[in-house]
C-alpha cells in the first residue's frame, strides 16, 4: 500500500465539484483509493461517501492506494490534489 498526507488548501474543502473530479480521477486506476480523515474512511470512487467526510480547508487527510497499480495511483492522486485541492 502507498499513502501520502495532504492538507486541503481549497477554501471550501472537498465540496461537490472537486469531489466529482476526485471520483473521476480515482476511477482511472485499478487500485482501491481511500481517503482517510481522522478515524473515518471513504472510497474515493463513491461521491456520497467522500462528501460525508466533510473535509474543510486546512484539514489534513491521508490518501491510500492499494492494488496492482498503486504506485501510479498514489502519484496520480497526489498530483490531482496539488492541482485541484
Give yes or no: 21 in active site. no
Q: Which residue in 4, 6, 15, 75 is the catalytic one?
A: 15
Q: What angle is formed at CA 34 by the lines to CA 32 and CA 36, rounded to 5 degrees?
A: 165
Set of cell numbers at residue 28: 482511472
Distance (Å, whole) CA 85 – CA 79? 10
Give catalytic residue positions: 15
Amino acid at each position: 500500500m502507498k499513502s501520502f498526507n495532504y492538507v486541503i488548501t481549497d477554501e471550501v474543502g472537498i465540496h461537490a465539484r472537486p469531489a466529482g473530479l476526485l471520483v473521476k480521477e480515482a476511477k482511472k486506476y485499478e487500485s482501491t483509493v481511500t481517503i482517510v480523515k481522522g478515524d473515518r474512511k471513504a472510497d474515493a470512487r463513491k461521491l456520497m461517501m467522500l462528501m460525508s467526510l466533510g473535509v474543510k480547508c486546512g484539514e489534513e487527510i491521508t490518501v491510500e492506494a492499494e492494488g496492482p497499480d498503486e504506485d501510479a495511483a498514489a502519484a496520480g492522486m497526489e498530483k490531482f490534489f496539488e492541482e485541484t485541492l
